[in-house]
């Protein structure tokens, strides 16, 4: 299978990518990767889906994009004399298991990962054996609000995350992946939330960089618990005098295509008495770490200059950031620089080196922040804030005390607008450095974080193998075909531009689009019930991903990736009574009283999972696999029979959504129970008088998976059986 790196994507760093195979074509998990010159490239592989006969359907691969180049070929490895060699690396796995921890060694970076409960994700991270990061710790700040009469009392509560379980998901010579589950306060305390999280750390061979994917879940009381701050803290060892402690923030200023950094130090070598030579400041701003002799003019000046112990950058909107600094908590912070869109990268270093932290989609998922405090201490506290505590707390409450089903298309008279069980995922990289990184190095690290390499096959190959079912290749042979292709191109371009025009950005919003346009107000109906956020309604995910498969446009991939990341987290419930079910389109993503399995079905996100191998999307699809068992908890689905395990639902989109979940779980695990659920329902539908267009309402038995025919009912909305991704599910 031939794959190409998308345009406008980094050509450096490790790439994870998928490959698809015909039934029986690849029977084992070993593959060969060669670059454009035919040279073998080390490759690490895991199987992500299988055909019913056990052969490989989809595989996820990891390799070094710097070795891969623009195009590569991946093939199943052959065995036997004279046949193609396997390009799987033969070195040792990066992680090894010890009594109380895992030890990771990438040949550049080493780390200790806990095996049991711990107050950190990783500790003792070192670059070439030298001090780096003491600990990586989840950090959370919740704003608690209480009302007494007309007075509202506000108190901020800070939590440090605690890991409860750790699993080593992948462990090979190129990549090892750790998955963590934990809470920010263990168990229930005075009826308060536990604030669960999941995280993954990715370590790569011969690399000093770690990738982190972090998911925050809301299990609080929206009337009381507001999100004030959420992120990861890196306790970083620093050495040297205060004038050797450097801070750099990448800004939106550029020169010759390279980013320009805001760059200062804890003590800035600029003094009038004693007068310092200009060379001292020039060297410092060039990143030269000098040690001045005790008693020298530079040493004496440094002793009498202010020590700036804290620096922070806050992206408080999609179009504004502010850098501030402070000597001590007891004194004011002063403004250093205003700008529009910070890329989202910070470097903190001392005489021994330090770290570079870069956040993916930083300004797009505002309000984010980067902060270093205790800059002059033995351990500087560097924090990647996925939600910055320097802005107003996020309010999870609904926009009104009631619903508006008649006027605003909101479903039912009650609101049902609970955020309990939703999640949001953020991503960053942490790079250990032995010196003050240059602006060029900061720019390249940020580019690899924001636009990592993405290797994709040709539309013809995906189409021939019926990847993701039945769809068409681009055709312009006739006037009608040309017109249709032109319309598709215009629509894709329109929505990509509307994200920017309408500022569809924010931690809980980025990736979604609006449902209905108001031609009189000339804006989207952002404030009108079921006409606001799309929440996968009418399957924009399918549209974008299928259009991407036909065109390989990088801008389409970027929007589709953001949509899958958002919709798979914010728009449906990952735990609680409605686990696996999503909220229909609304002003708030979780606001509609209609809780529907079609919103959260795995079909929306299989594209991203199989094309990229993303582990977190796999978690989300697994969260939906038993959505049918949660239907008894949805108020407006009528229960029937003993134990209330039977509910009224439609063949489409309800049962079809379950089929999407079951098919995905079956091909990922070959668990025959999920295949049986599909076959049981198919037999029941075939037995109905009109087949797929029967009903469309059935009684569904969650225990037996049977659909019980209830006769014909034109009022139930037959059109919904074919407009939410159902034909795609059934055909595949």
Q: What is the pLDDT of residues 603-621, one digit of tens each?
A: 999 999 999 999 999 999 9
At 87, the pLDDT band (50, 70, 90 cuts) reads low
The percentage of residues in the chain with a pLDDT greater than 70, rounded to a whole number, is 96
Strands 455-457 and 423-433: unpaired
Q: What is the pLDDT of residue 90?
A: 67
For helices 540-551 and 479-501, give the axis angle rounded to 10 degrees. 120
Look at residue 390 and tell me whether its pLDDT is greater than 70. Answer: yes
Q: What is the pLDDT of residue 345?
A: 98
Strands 130-148 and 151-160: antiparallel
Q: What is the pLDDT of residue 189?
A: 47
Strands 345-350 and 333-339: unpaired
Query: Which residues touch 360 (CB under 8 Å, ≥6 apart)?
Result: 344, 426, 427, 428, 429, 449, 450
Query: Which residues touch 632 (CB under 8 Å, ≥6 apart)?
Result: 639, 644, 645, 647, 702
Q: What is the pLDDT of residue 79?
A: 58
Q: What is the mean pLDDT of residues 318-343?
A: 98
Q: What is the pLDDT of residue 667?
A: 98
Q: What is the mean pLDDT of residues 376-397?
A: 97
Tens digits of residue pLDDT in 459-498? 999 999 999 999 999 999 999 999 999 999 999 999 999 9
User: Helix, strand, coil shares of the chain as percentages rounded to 5?
Assistant: 25, 35, 40
Q: What is the pLDDT of residue 84?
A: 42
Mean pLDDT of all residues in the chain?
94
**Per DSSP, which regions of 403-519 are E strands?**
423-433, 455-457, 517-518
Q: What is the pLDDT of residue 433?
A: 97
Q: What is the pLDDT of residue 88?
A: 54
Q: What is the pLDDT of residue 222?
A: 96
**Per DSSP, which regions of 293-363 are E strands?**
310-317, 320-326, 333-339, 345-350, 353-359
Rg (CA), the chain: 27
Q: What is the pLDDT of residue 187?
A: 46
Q: What is the pLDDT of residue 89?
A: 60
For helices 540-551 and 554-567, give the axis angle rounded to 10 degrees. 150
At 80, the pLDDT band (50, 70, 90 cuts) reads very low
Look at residue 717 and tell me whether its pLDDT is greater than 70. Answer: no
At 722, the pLDDT band (50, 70, 90 cuts) reads confident
At 716, the pLDDT band (50, 70, 90 cuts) reads low
Tens digits of residue pLDDT in 623-649? 999 999 999 898 888 777 666 789 988
The percentage of residues in the chain with a pLDDT greater than 90, rounded to a whole number, is 87
Look at residue 267 and tell me whether its pLDDT is greater than 90. Answer: yes
At 81, the pLDDT band (50, 70, 90 cuts) reads very low
Integer Cα distance of 477 and 485 in angstroms: 11
Cα distances (angstroms) measured from residue 258 to each of 137, 254, 445: 32, 5, 12
Q: What is the pLDDT of residue 19?
A: 98
Instruction: Render the burial of 544-572: b for 16+ CB within 10 Å, e for the rest.
Output: bbbbbbbbbbbbbbbbbbbbbbbbbbbbb
Tens digits of residue pLDDT in 231-256? 999 999 999 999 999 999 999 998 88
Look at residue 85 and tell me whether its pLDDT is greater than 70. Answer: no
Look at residue 128 and tell me whether its pLDDT is greater than 90. Answer: yes
Decide: 280 and 299 in contact? Cβ < 8 Å. no
122 closest CA partner among 104, 96, 140:
104
Q: What is the pLDDT of residue 702?
A: 92
Q: What is the mean pLDDT of residues 362-371?
A: 98
Query: Which residues touch 225 (CB under 8 Å, ≥6 apart)?
Result: 142, 143, 144, 192, 193, 396
Query: Which residues touch 537 (CB under 8 Å, ≥6 apart)?
Result: 515, 584, 585, 599, 724
420 closest CA partner among 647, 597, 193, 102:
193
Tens digits of residue pLDDT in 513-557? 999 999 999 999 999 999 999 999 999 999 999 999 999 999 999
Q: What is the mean pLDDT of residues 109-117?
A: 96
Q: What is the mean pLDDT of residues 158-179?
A: 96
Q: Which of 57-71, 107-121, 231-245, 686-700 has the lowest mean pLDDT?
A: 686-700
Q: What is the mean pLDDT of residues 704-723?
A: 83
First CA to last CA distance, the chain: 21
Whether the predicted model's global pTM rises above the 0.75 cut: yes
Look at residue 59 and tell me whether its pLDDT is greater than 60. Answer: yes
């Amino acid at each position: 299978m031939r794959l190409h790196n998308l345009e406008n994507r980094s050509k450096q760093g490790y790439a994870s990518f998928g490959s698809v195979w015909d039934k029986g074509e690849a029977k084992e998990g070993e593959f060969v990767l060669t670059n454009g010159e035919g040279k073998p490239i080390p490759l690490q592989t895991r199987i992500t889906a299988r055909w019913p006969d056990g052969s490989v359907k989809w595989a996820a691969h990891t390799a070094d994009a710097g070795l891969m180049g623009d195009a590569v070929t991946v093939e199943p490895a052959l065995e036997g004399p004279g046949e193609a060699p396997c390009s799987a690396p033969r070195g040792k796995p990066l992680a090894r298991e010890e009594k109380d921890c895992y030890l990771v060694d990438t040949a550049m970076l080493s780390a200790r990962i806990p095996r049991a409960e711990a107050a950190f994700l990783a500790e003792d991270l070192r670059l070439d054996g030298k001090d780096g990061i003491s600990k990586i710790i989840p950090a959370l700040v919740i704003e608690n609000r209480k009302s007494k009469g007309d007075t509202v009392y506000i108190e901020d509560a800070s939590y440090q995350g605690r890991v409860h379980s750790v699993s080593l998901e992948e462990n090979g010579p190129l990549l090892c992946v750790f998955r963590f589950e934990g809470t920010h306060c263990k168990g229930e305390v005075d009826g308060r939330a536990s604030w669960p999280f999941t995280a993954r750390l990715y370590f790569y061979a011969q690399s000093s960089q770690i990738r982190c994917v972090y998911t925050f879940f809301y299990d609080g009381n929206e009337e009381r618990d507001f999100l004030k701050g959420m992120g990861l803290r890196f306790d970083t060892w620093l050495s040297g005098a205060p004038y050797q402690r450097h801070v750099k923030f990448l800004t939106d200023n550029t020169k010759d295509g390279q980013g320009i950094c805001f760059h200062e130090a804890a003590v800035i070598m600029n003094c009038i008495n004693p007068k310092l030579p200009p060379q001292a400041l020039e060297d410092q701003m060039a990143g030269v770490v000098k040690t001045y002799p005790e008693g020298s003019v530079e040493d004496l000046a440094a002793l009498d200059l202010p020590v700036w112990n804290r620096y922070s950058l806050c992206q408080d909107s999609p179009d504004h950031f502010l850098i501030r600094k402070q000597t001590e908590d007891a004194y004011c912070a002063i403004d250093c620089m205003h700008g529009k869109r910070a890329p989202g990268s910070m470097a903190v270093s001392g005489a021994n080196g330090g770290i570079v932290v870069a956040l993916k989609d930083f300004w797009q998922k505002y309000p984010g922040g980067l902060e270093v405090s205790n800059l002059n201490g033995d351990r500087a506290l560097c924090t990647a804030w996925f939600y910055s505590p320097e802005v107003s707390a996020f309010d999870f409450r609904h926009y009104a005390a009631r619903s508006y089903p008649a006027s605003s298309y909101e479903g039912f008279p009650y609101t049902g607008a609970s955020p309990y069980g939703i999640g949001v995922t953020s991503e960053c990289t942490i790079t250990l450095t032995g010196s003050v990184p240059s602006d060029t190095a900061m720019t390249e690290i940020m580019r690899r974080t924001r636009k990592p390499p993405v290797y994709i096959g040709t539309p013809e190959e995906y189409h021939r193998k019926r990847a993701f079912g039945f769809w068409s290749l681009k055709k312009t042979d006739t006037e009608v075909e040309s017109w249709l292709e032109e319309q598709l191109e215009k629509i894709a371009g329109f929505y990509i531009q509307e994200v920017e025009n309408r500022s569809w950005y924010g931690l809980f919003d980025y990736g979604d689009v609006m449902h209905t346009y108001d031609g009189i107000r000339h804006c989207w109906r952002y404030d009108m019930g079921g006409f606001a956020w799309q929440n996968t309604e009418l399957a924009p995910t399918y549209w974008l991903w299928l259009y991407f498969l036909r065109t390989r446009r990088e801008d389409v991939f970027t929007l589709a990736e953001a949509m899958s990341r958002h919709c798979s987290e914010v728009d449906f419930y990952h735990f609680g009574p409605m686990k696996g079910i999503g909220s229909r389109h609304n002003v708030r993503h979780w606001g509609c009283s209609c809780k529907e399995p079609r919103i959260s079905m795995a079909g929306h996100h299989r594209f991203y999972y199989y094309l990229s191998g993303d582990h977190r999307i796999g978690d989300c699809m697994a969260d939906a696999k038993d959505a049918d068992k949660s239907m008894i908890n949805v108020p407006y689905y009528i229960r029937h029979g003993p134990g209330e395990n039977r509910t009224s639902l439609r063949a489409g989109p309800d049962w079809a959504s379950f089929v999407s979940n079951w098919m995905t779980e079956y091909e990922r695990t070959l668990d025959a129970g999920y295949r049986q659920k599909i076959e049981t329902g198919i037999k029941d539908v075939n037995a109905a008088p009109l087949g797929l267009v029967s009903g469309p309402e059935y009684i569904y038995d969650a225990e037996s998976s049977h659909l019980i025919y209830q006769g014909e009912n034109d009022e139930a909305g037959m059109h919904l059986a074919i407009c939410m991704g159902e034909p795609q599910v059934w055909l595949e």
